[in-house]
């Protein structure tokens, strides 16, 4: 699936940031997202035979997948640890640090180097988790840069106090990133190629953003190109319309003279 979605991107020498779950747990149930509202209890990409088994699958066991990713121009981003939607909303520093360290170790074994960027499941952070991540990573992904995303019912603010001023300045200036003491926090514009929007509407949204924004982050799940609304499941055949939209968007960005960067390359450029 990865090869099918990204083969043209690879041929164009465009880098991809791959968010990789170090040790996916198949038993977690989803809630409060689009797929749970459609009646699904588990992430659609988890094979049906594993959904009730509550097993952990370290990425190191999937040699074919690792080889595929190594052959692409990509940056490996640590995507949580088990992909529990709330695992980095915790304030338990000991447990958070264990997941950070174990996850980095698994990805280092898999790809030969420790990841330098982090992405929490559902962009869910507590101040404690982000403070710890600053000690181990050069940056992290975040949700949309809005005042609404700054606050959480349990934590008050999702950011350590030392980052709040930088965040407010970014929101005020319309940016989707900030640098705070060398740490890059990068959000996204809400743009994706997904199964639930009309493809022409998606292309128009991108065209509008390309004209007015300095930085665009395309956040997507490769498996959504294989999601079938009729059966409410991921199937082995790709949506050619969605894939054509993705390539069209990439080409339209290139025509504007834009530069595609990994997160590390972007951080160096900003600094």
The CATH number linked to 75 is: 3.20.20
Q: Is residue 146 part of a domain?
A: yes
Last residue of a domain, one of 162, 188, 214: 188
Indicate if 115 and 206 belong to the same structural domain: no
pLDDT at 246: 97
Q: Are residues 105 and 19 in the same domain?
A: yes
Token pair belonging to 53: 């088994």
| 266 located within any domain | no
- Considering the domain architecture, whether residues 24 and 151 belong to the same structural domain is answered as yes
> Given this model, what pLDDT does residue 247 score?
97
Residue 58 and residue 180 share a domain:
yes
What's the pLDDT band for 59 if we cut at 50, 70, 90?
very high
What was the pLDDT predicted at 48?
Answer: 85
Average pLDDT score, the chain: 93
Q: What is the tens place of the pLDDT at every residue in 208-261?
A: 999 999 999 999 999 999 999 899 999 999 999 999 999 999 999 999 999 999
The pTM is what? 0.95
Strand order from edge to edge, sheet including 74-79: 16-20, 74-79, 117-119, 139-141, 183-186, 177-180
Does residue 264 sit within a domain? Answer: no
Q: What's the Cα-to-Cα distance from 172 to each of 160, 166, 175, 187, rounded to whole Å? A: 19, 10, 8, 14
Residue 87: enclosing H or E segment and its boundaries? none
Range of the domain at 98: 2-188
Same domain for 124 and 230, yes or no, is no
Same structural domain, 168 and 198: no
β-bridge partners, 119: 79
Please state the rounded mean pLDDT for residues 42-69: 90
Domain boundary among 188, 215, 232: 188
pLDDT in tens, 91-136: 999 999 999 999 999 999 999 999 999 999 989 999 999 999 999 9
Same domain, 166 and 226: no
Q: Bridge-partner residues for 227, per DSSP?
A: 234
Q: How confident is the model at residue 55 (pLDDT cuts 50, 70, 90)?
A: confident
The domain tally of the chain equals: 2
Residue 269 lies in a domain: no
Is 10 in the same domain as 91?
A: yes
pLDDT of residue 29: 86
pLDDT, position 85? 85
- Report the pLDDT averaged over residues 75-86: 94
- Judge whether residue 13 has pLDDT over 90: yes
User: Where among 188, 219, 247 does a domain terminate?
Assistant: 188
pLDDT band of 33, cuts 50, 70, 90: confident
CA dist 70 → 66, 73, 82, 223, 255 (Å): 6, 8, 22, 19, 28
Q: Are residues 35 and 163 in the same domain?
A: yes
For residue 52, is pLDDT > 90? no
pLDDT given at position 92 = 96
Lowest-confidence pick of 11-20, 40-49, 134-143, 229-238: 40-49
- Are residues 18 and 134 located together in one domain of the fold? yes
Q: Indicate the helix (H) or strand (E) that contains 215.
A: none
**Residue 114 included in any domain:** yes
Q: What is the pLDDT of residues 125-166, one digit of tens each?
A: 999 999 999 999 999 999 999 998 898 777 678 899 999 999
């Amino acid at each position: 699936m990865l090869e099918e979605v990204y083969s043209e991107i690879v041929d164009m020498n465009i880098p991809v940031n791959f968010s990789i779950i170090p040790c996916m747990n198949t038993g977690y149930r989803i809630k409060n997202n689009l797929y749970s509202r459609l009646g699904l209890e588990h992430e659609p990409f988890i094979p049906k035979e594993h959904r009730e088994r509550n097993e952990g699958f370290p990425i190191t066991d999937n040699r074919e997948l690792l080889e595929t990713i190594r052959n692409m121009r990509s940056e490996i981003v640590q995507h949580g640890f088990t992909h529990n939607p709330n695992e980095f909303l915790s304030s338990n520093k000991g447990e958070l640090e264990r997941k950070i360290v174990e996850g980095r170790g698994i990805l280092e074994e898999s790809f030969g180097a420790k990841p330098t960027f982090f992405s929490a499941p559902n962009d869910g952070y507590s101040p404690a988790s982000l403070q710890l991540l600053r000690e181990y990573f050069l940056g992290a992904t975040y949700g949309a840069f809005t005042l609404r995303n700054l606050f959480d019912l349990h934590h008050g603010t999702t950011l350590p106090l030392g980052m709040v001023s930088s965040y407010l300045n970014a929101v005020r200036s319309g940016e989707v990133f900030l640098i705070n003491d060398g740490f890059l926090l990068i959000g996204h514009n809400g743009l994706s190629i997904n199964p639930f929007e009309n493809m022409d509407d998606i292309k128009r949204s991108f065209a509008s953003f390309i004209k007015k924004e300095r930085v665009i982050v395309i956040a997507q799940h490769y498996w959504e190109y294989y999601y079938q609304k009729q059966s409410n499941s991921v199937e082995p055949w790709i949506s050619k319309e969605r894939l054509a939209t993705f390539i069209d968007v990439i080409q339209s960005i290139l025509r504007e003279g834009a530069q595609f960067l990994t997160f590390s390359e972007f951080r160096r450029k900003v600094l």
